[in-house]
Structure 1
Amino acid sequence: MAADVVARLRAAGCVFAEDEARLLLAAADSPAALDALVGRRVAGEPLEHVLGWAEFCGLRIAVGAGVFVPRRRTELLAERAIALTRPGAVVVDLCCGTGAVAAAVHAAVPDAEVHAADLDPAAVALARRNLPRGHVHRGDLDAPLPAALHGRVDVLVANAPYVPTDAIALMPPEARLHEARAALDGGPDGTAVQQRVAAAAPRWLAPGGHLLIETSDRQAPLTAAAMERHGLVARTVVDDERGATVVIGSVAAVDEPEFLRRTRDSYDAIAAEYVGYVGDELPRRPAERALLRWFADVVGSGPVVDVGCGTGRITAHLHGLGVDVSGIDLSPGMVEQARRAYPDLRFSVGSMTALPLPDACVDGLVAHYSTIHVPDDELPGALAEFARVLSPGGHALLTFQVGDEPLHLTDALGHPVDLLFHRRRPERMAALLEAAGLPVHAQTVRQAEDGERTPQAYLLARRA
């Protein structure tokens, strides 16, 4: 029977006939049902419509006839939204279709308040199935959203239609004939709906909020320009493997130091490559492993926060030592990589100058080469934040490069960056920690090893 199904699918031009046959066989409860399912697929109906579901970000999303099927490339939009969503955040998914992006965010951050909206009643019905604990509204773009959300939305996502009108006729029949035209047609240049979303976003976004729109690499400059016209600071994220492009527009924080923007943008640019760059570094650093083991023994089970966690490798190492640990990083791109590599651990976006944590909530704090990008005049404030979130008697482990002259990088891992590395003397850092209420209890300096430019310092401080 399986061979016959594969043969029918292959004859109809299905490239992945074997994979599709397995899914159809699993979905059918009788030979007659199987024949009907295969017949629909052979006739050109999308496989997802035939099955009634699509896989998206590890979830099984209910789909239906005439409704846009979530694509794999849209997982980049969901991943970036998740990276920017903290517990308790307000998230809105416009042009939500099946609600796949909203469902992925809610699955990753269950404490978020998630809203979704779409004009199509069939899409709204599916979104309500896929987002049972969310709030799904029916109406055009932002029109049906509750007025109480004005100025409260932390993350607004939109997979708005972006196919130019004249290009719809060139689309594969599966999309052109079986998905609603309104979910495809983006107007003459493909950005008509995106521009409406960009115009509406400022009245909904909270201070520091973000608008994320999926688009194409060709249209990204137009999408970014639309965001900039409405006062958002835009940047573009591309995933070549998935053929995905997302433009992120952020509400500029009036009082945000410039070094934070430079550091965030630089690490966002190199996040994907950075995973491989540092991937096997810790196994080659016995001194660091020993110090982390010592730190784990000192703090016990935690909780501990890894500030400037990057791709999450130190967070994961401490977790492996039995520590209850979470990670915070300034770069959404780095947080995305950390969540992808260690899905069972907790990571969130935040700045060490204003940690998104209550007072005295952790027994330990790690800043592994993360204070190196903080200028001298901002460093006391960051160390004061460390002291604020540490419980009395809690410990902080800081690692940094030893020296006097800063290093400025304008290119890293094949990307233009603007990163300033501040080298510091251990005695000076110890004095700053003491002033912040974190006297140093132990200090270690090792000489530079292969690939390093400077000695490395490790300071263990304890909150008084």
Structure 2
Amino acid sequence: MPRPEVDPDVVRRVAARLEAAGVPNAGVDARLLVEHVVEVAGVTAGCGGALLDGLVARRAARVPLQQVIGRTWFRTLELTCAPGVFVPRPETEVVAGVAIDAARTADRDRPRVVDVGTGSGAIACAVAAEVPGVDVVATERDPLAVALAEVNAQRLRDGQAVAGGPARGATVTVLRGSLLDPVPPAWRGKVDVLVSNPPYLPAADRGTWAPEVGGHDPDAALVGGPDGHEVVDRLLQLAGAWLRPGGTVVVEIDDRRGRDATDAAREAGLAHVRLVADLTGRDRAVAAVRAR
């Protein structure tokens, strides 16, 4: 879909307001805000008025752009965003990509993928959008996130999140519960890909985050515990019991903890352990395989 035509003077005025408020990448956010108002207001050139002023004021107050406009983009998807639910990050697209590649190469017609702690449903929906015949189960304990993930899963089915809807024959199911507790018992030992972007920051990091993060992302989606990697370690321990032989686990990690994550994967008895770098070169995930 082509980007809407906007008045560059309006964009510059909005950018100046955002820059004065300390908003990072003020010029980019300004254009996205103006484009959003052009789209929803149904105009083709400049825009202004109460709608734009209200959105700019919220962004200047450091509400995340994705929550201000109510949407974000993740790989091929346009996802709905909502207050109180973790906003998916571009670096997590790399994590989803590893899961997608592993699911595509699974040696059966209907690969099974579990996305643990799905949040908005970004990874689960990306897998279902890009892997034909896949069955995805997404788990989440937070009720706000469960509701949003269900919205995004339905938007995928309806062809609103991506043109054409899910890949041929693909399904995605959102289940409420902690970690792997809601996954059907029949899937135990038969999962092809276990993927997660869990909370992985240490408690000591609280107070160091940008306002968009500390003031709006839920703490439970950020902090894994005093050490930070408690949930990462637990998922790696569970992976061997839930994966089928040759199945893959990929878990997003604190980029400062690559060595700890690979050690934990090896201690869990997993094979072919490796780190996955994001587009900035930082360690973004640990990936491993259940030995055959």
TM-score, normalising length from structure 2? Answer: 0.82
For the 8 Å contact 1:209–1:251, the answer to whether it is kept is yes
Corresponding residue to 1:94 among 112, 116, 125: 116
Of stretches 12-21 and 122-131 in structure 1, the one that deviates more from structure 2 is: 12-21
For the 8 Å contact 1:168–1:184, the answer to whether it is kept is no
| Alignment-derived partner of residue 110 in structure 1 | 132
Measure the CA separation in 2 of the matches of 1:68 and 1:244.
Answer: 21
For the 8 Å contact 2:91–2:279, the answer to whether it is kept is no
One-letter amino acid matched to 1:69: V
Of stretches 160-169 and 9-18 in structure 1, the one that deviates more from structure 2 is: 9-18
1:174 aligns with 2:203: no
Measure the CA separation in 2 of the matches of 1:237 and 1:122.
Answer: 30
Q: CA deviation at 1:168?
A: 2.0
One-letter amino acid matched to 2:254: S
| Alignment-derived partner of residue 75 in structure 1 | 93
Structure scoring higher RCO (CA < 8 A, sep ≥ 6) equals 2
For the 8 Å contact 1:164–1:189, the answer to whether it is kept is yes
For the 8 Å contact 1:162–1:185, the answer to whether it is kept is yes
Q: CA deviation at 1:100?
A: 0.6
Corresponding residue to 1:4 among 9, 13, 38: 13
Measure the CA separation in 1 of the matches of 2:283 and 2:268.
Answer: 24
Q: 1:244 to 1:34 in 2, by over 3 A?
A: farther
Q: CA deviation at 1:229?
A: 2.2
Measure the CA separation in 2 of the matches of 1:60 and 1:242.
Answer: 26
Measure the CA separation in 1 of the matches of 2:196 and 2:265.
Answer: 13
Of stretches 126-135 and 33-42 in structure 1, the one that deviates more from structure 2 is: 126-135
Q: 1:243 to 1:53 in 2, by over 3 A?
A: farther
Specify the SS of the correspondent of 1:20: helix
Corresponding residue to 2:291 among 252, 266, 271: 252
| Alignment-derived partner of residue 130 in structure 1 | 152
Of stretches 158-167 and 211-220 in structure 1, the one that deviates more from structure 2 is: 211-220
Q: CA deviation at 1:14?
A: 2.2
One-letter amino acid matched to 2:86: F
1:150 aligns with 2:191: no
Deviation string, structure 1 residues 55-89 (Cα, Å, up to 9, x no partner): 11131121111111111111110111111112521
Aligned-pair RMSD on alpha carbons?
1.6
Deviation string, structure 1 residues 381-438 (Cα, Å, up to 9, x no partner): xxxxxxxxxxxxxxxxxxxxxxxxxxxxxxxxxxxxxxxxxxxxxxxxxxxxxxxxxx
For the 8 Å contact 1:153–1:205, the answer to whether it is kept is yes
Q: CA deviation at 1:242?
A: 5.7
Corresponding residue to 2:71 among 53, 59, 66: 53
Bigger strand fraction: 1
Corresponding residue to 1:222 among 256, 260, 267: 260
One-letter amino acid matched to 1:104: A
One-letter amino acid matched to 1:38: V
Deviation string, structure 1 residues 246-305 (Cα, Å, up to 9, x no partner): 11121112xxxxxxxxxxxxxxxxxxxxxxxxxxxxxxxxxxxxxxxxxxxxxxxxxxxx
Measure the CA separation in 2 of the matches of 1:116 and 1:183.
Answer: 15
Measure the CA separation in 1 of the matches of 2:235 and 2:281.
Answer: 24
In the TM superposition, what are the counterparts of 1:280-295 in structure 2 within 5 Å? none
| Unpaired stretches in structure 1, ≥5 consecutive residues | 254-464
Measure the CA separation in 1 of the matches of 2:175 and 2:118.
Answer: 10
Measure the CA separation in 2 of the matches of 1:176 and 1:51.
Answer: 19
In the TM superposition, what are the counterparts of 1:305-316 in structure 2 within 5 Å? none
In the TM superposition, what are the counterparts of 1:226-237 in structure 2 within 5 Å? 226-233=264-271, 234-237=273-276
In the TM superposition, what are the counterparts of 1:61-460 in structure 2 within 5 Å? 61-86=79-104, 88-132=110-154, 133-233=171-271, 234-239=273-278, 241=280, 243-253=282-292
One-letter amino acid matched to 1:189: D
TM-score, normalising length from structure 1? Answer: 0.52
Give percent identity, aligned residues only: 42
